[in-house]
Amino acid sequence: MGTLKAHRAVTSMEKSSSPSPFRDGNTEAQEGKIHERCPSPPPSPGGPSLLARISTHFTAFKAAALIQRWYRRYMARLETRRRCTWRIFQSIEYAGQQDQVKLHDFFSYLVDHFTPNSNHERDFLNCKFTTERFLQDSEMEKGSDYESIEVPDNYTGPRLSFPLLPDHATALVEAFRLKQQLHARYVLNLLHETRKHLVQLPNINRVSTCYSEEITVCGDLHGQLDDLIFIFHKNGLPSPERAYVFNGDFVDRGKESVEILMILFAFMLVYPKEFRLNRGNHEDHMVNLRYGLTKEVMHKYKTHGKKILKILQDVFCWLHLATLVDEKVLILHGGVSDMPDLELLAKLDRHKVLTTEVVVSTLGRKTRRQKGKQPAKEKAARVPAPELALRPGRLHLGSRGGTGPAAPPASPAAAARPGDPGLDGAGSRQAPQEPGGGEPPALHARSRLGSPEPLQPTQEAWKQVVDILWSDPMAQEGCKANTVRGGGCYFGPSVTEQLLQKYNLQFLIRSHERKPEGYEFCHRRKVLTIFSASNYYEVGSNRGAYVKLGPALTPYIVQYQANKETHRLTMRQRISRVEESALRSLWEKLFASSLDLLGEFKKHDADKTGLITLSAWAEAVESVLHLGLPWRMLKPQLVNSSTDNTLEYKSWLEDLAKEQLSRENIQSSLLETLYRNRPNLEAIFRITDSDHSGFISLDEFRQTWKLFSSHMNIDITDDCICDLARSIDLNRDGHIDINEFLEAFRIVEQSSTEGDTSDCPQATNTDNSGCSKPSKR
């Protein structure tokens, strides 16, 4: 700790008065001064040549020192840029997660406040929220129908036959490396076999180093196939002597989640004892809706995608919750709470935990609005948000009737069975451990159409799983709610210590958080975070790592960066590339908030000079974006700094817009709002498109947009929306392709040549014909 890089300790010396290029006596020399630490010149009996030589030596010494000093500063600035870039990505990502929270809020809000004006609208709403459940029931039954899927003769991709052999799995890796795609029939077959296999396995998987000499634990992959292939290449393929544990988050964000799943499941079937998979928070269909897996599956498998997603949803629920090595090392995805209960974790019906998406604020509002059905649950002290541990699923219609989409029956056969025993066999209605004595609200939901209740795990069991999958370690002591993620907690060193002592463990391996070096120890080396998706944000942004454990259980870390290119780039180039990408995202965010920014800037410009100080700029930007970024550090990249510390904010905003838009007339506030809400919109549309057809009808679009805008406080008339919808439906068939809709709102030109946009209000700039501006929030 605390040691500086070694530098030669030399005795100090008074400033020499010998002539040198650095002491010209003018201002330059002042700036070129260096505090020198050289031995004093010895007396010179040897005459001028020796003296001259000594002078030269000093000069070379000083020159070198100067260069080094300059270079170190340069590197420091580079390092700072790297950190800032990292921060940008992180804060945008967390902001994205906050968006997810807002999405939940939106639906919740809708459900509570939206009064359907007509039966049509009411039906629409209910339909949206109940359809999925019924669809699932019938689809599940038909799901095993993969045998009827024909594989065309011209199919050149990999073929699987069961039972799977090691060669098949290896061939799969090779095929994917060559960018082939596995046919839907084999995908479904594999998934069904996987499910059959997983169902027999326990919640907590136990592995021993007696059998396989070494165990390799890998962290988040997030759809980055290159990293998986690299790991197998560098560490070796799985085998009875080479055990692997993959610690969750195999999917989402990266573009090859499907391929990763196929490989992981294949190896698991081939080496059931040695190849294990833990569930992560992304092995969850609700999370997948927003973060990419759903999209990827639908795009790659189109008509069969639906089936694949359905069974995948089930498979995810059957994954292990945790792995224990030699009863000493606990491996799980997120972390622990200060009330860990491994016994409960081992006993609970993990299959019933369909999704762990929990939202603190939403649930908070929900419970208070249950018309006094039960008081807000007070868990034992430490969690400030008592509503954390609530019912599964994103939303439900509570007293309105109907059940939430995420709370369908746990298994296909259970669909029509009323009165199914709950977790503890005695009915799941009671949450016995709850001091508040309340029950999860969803259990009160009466289905509007009289179908059976969803089966819920107890609240306590639910919470254990959420904690396992979502928690993060922190340096401070204690345990508090993880408000950034919206679920799980932040746990301190003593929580870890408590856990290790209680269960006689040596340390904890977890993932869930990206680290620049691919791994990080904390809590006095009792917690190891391992993250295997290298270049997570952008090429060169971080390394990935995996950890090997031998019988001695000493962790041995291997780092990598799965991209040949980066090795050849200098640090400067790597950082520039990553930085560019981060800045682009930041520009986008700034642009999307142009209107709000203008408002804030004006507040700082009481005299209406059109100028604000750079300090005011930093404050304003933070107050609008809430990204918690060091804006003053980023200023050089974002603002062409004027010499006298002021900024002409209007032209800065215009420059922002110019950067973002290719055509200047696409500058409606509607567009801006849509752009800002793009990620949310996408998720909303996917939910709206309940049959995953990739199309939504104009009517559905209208309804959804109306609901969305009423929540987001946007004042938009019906006509405006209709026009919007019509303008997007270019082929006039009454359906909107989701992708095309979103494309329309990226930075592309509105095709004024089509003629329909000229009718559309948003083509005009500020003259509000038919559309009012979004109200400031």
Partner 1 sequence: MVSPLPELVIAEFHKKIKDAFEVFDHEANNTVDVREIGTIIRSLGCCPSEGELHDLIVEVEEEEPTGYIRFEKFLPVMTKVLLEKRYRPIPEDILLRAFEVLDPSKRGFLTKEELIKYMTEEGEPFSQEEMEEMLSAAIDPESNSIRYKDYIAMMVVDDG
Residues that bind partner 1 (CB under 8 A): 1-8, 12, 21-22, 28, 31-32, 34-35, 37, 56, 59-77, 79-80, 83-84, 87, 474-476, 570-572, 576, 615, 618, 630-633, 636-637, 644-646
Q: Which is nearer to partner 1, 4 or 210 (CB)?
A: 4
Nearer to partner 1, 66 or 742 (CB): 66
**Which two structure tokens, joined as six digits, stand for 310?**
């359905």
Of 26 and 154, which CB lies nearer to partner 1 in the complex structure?
Answer: 26
CB of 510 to partner 1, least distance (A): 18
* Residue 570 C-beta: closest distance to partner 1, Å: 4
Query: Which residues make Cβ contacts (< 8 Å) with residue 140, sequence separation at least 6?
Result: 310, 314, 411, 412, 415
Distance CA 271, CA 8 (A): 56
Q: What minimum distance in Å lies between the beta carbon of 598 and partner 1?
A: 23
- Asked if 417 contacts 382 with a C-beta cutoff of 8 angstroms, the reply is no
CA dihedral (491, 494, 498, 501) positive or negative: positive
- Give the residue with the Cβ less far from partner 1, 18 or 80: 80
Residue closer to partner 1, measured from CB, 77 or 299:
77
Q: Hey, how many other C-beta atoms are within 10 angstroms of the C-beta on 482?
A: 25
CA-based Rg of the chain, rounded to a whole angstrom? 30
Catalytic residue flag (residue 282): yes
Shortest distance (Å) from residue 533 CB to partner 1: 20
Please say which residue, 98 or 430, places its beta carbon nearer to partner 1: 98
Place of tokens 């799941």: 428
Which residue, 55 or 430, has its beta carbon nearer to partner 1?
A: 55
Please tell me the distance from the alpha carbon of residue 235 to that of residue 248, in angstroms, as a whole number. 19
Q: How far is CA 449 from the centre of its chain?
A: 37
The Cα 570–Cα 669 span in angstroms is 42
Q: Between 14 and 150, name the residue whose CB sits nearer to partner 1.
A: 14
Exactly one of 104, 168, 222, 282 is catalytic; which is it? Answer: 282
Q: How far is the CB of 584 from partner 1 (least distance, A)?
A: 17
Of 10 and 151, the one with the shorter C-beta distance to partner 1 is 10
Q: Is the Cβ of residue 54 or residue 66 nearer to partner 1 in the bound state?
A: 66
Query: Between the CA of residue 524 and those of 295, 475, 521, 706, what are the distances in Å?
Result: 41, 10, 7, 53
Query: What's the min distance (Å) between Cβ of 637 and partner 1?
Result: 7
Residues 6+ apart with CB under 8 A from 382: 338, 478, 479, 480
CA 231, 233, 238 angle in degrees (round to 5)? Answer: 75
Task: State the Cα–Cα distance between residues 415 and 418, nearest whole angstrom.
Answer: 8
Least distance to partner 1 from the beta carbon of 332, Å?
23
Which DSSP letter does residue 617 get?
A: H
Indicate the pairing of strand 214-218 with strand 329-331. unpaired
Quick check: helix, strand or coil at residue 96? helix
Name which of 26 and 766 has its Cβ closer to partner 1.
26
**Packing angle of the helix pair 669-676, 571-592 (nearest 10 deg):** 130
- CB 249, CB 291: distance < 8 Å: no
Closest by Cα among 678, 742, 710, 639 to 112: 710
b/e code 518-549 from CB counts within 10 Å (16+ = b): bbbeebeebbbbbbbbbbbbbbbbbbbbbbbb
CB of 518 to partner 1, least distance (A): 16
Do 324 and 292 form a contact (C-beta atoms < 8 A)? no
Cβ proximity to partner 1, 554 vs 651, nearer residue: 651
Helix runs in 593-737, H state only: 594-603, 614-625, 631-638, 649-660, 669-676, 678-688, 698-711, 718-728
DSSP 708-754: HHHHTT--B-HHHHHHHHHHH-TT-SSEEEHHHHHHHTSS----GGG
Residue 286 neighbours by CB under 8 Å, 6+ apart: 355, 357, 393, 394, 406
Both structure tokens of 24? 């010209």
Residue 721: CB atoms within 10 A of its CB come to 20
CB of 197 to partner 1, least distance (A): 41
Smallest distance from partner 1 to CB 338, Å: 19
Task: Please report, as a single letter, which amino acid is at residue 655.
Answer: D
CB of 31 to partner 1, least distance (A): 5
Distance of CA 222 to the CA centre of its chain: 9
Distance CA 140, CA 320 (A): 22
204 vs 440: CA distance, rounded Å: 26
SS3 for 127-190, per residue? HHHHHHHHHHHHHHHHHCHHHHCCCCCCCCCCCCCCCCCHHHHHHHHHHHHCCCCCCHHHHHHH
When the beta carbons of 373 and 524 are compared against partner 1, the nearer one is: 524
Can you name the residues that pair with 736 across neighbouring β-strands?
696
Report, in Å, the least distance between residue 622 CB and partner 1: 10
Pinpoint the alpha helices (H) of 471-569: 493-503, 564-568
User: How near is the Cβ of 83 to partner 1 at its closest, in Å?
Assistant: 5
Catalytic residue annotation: 282
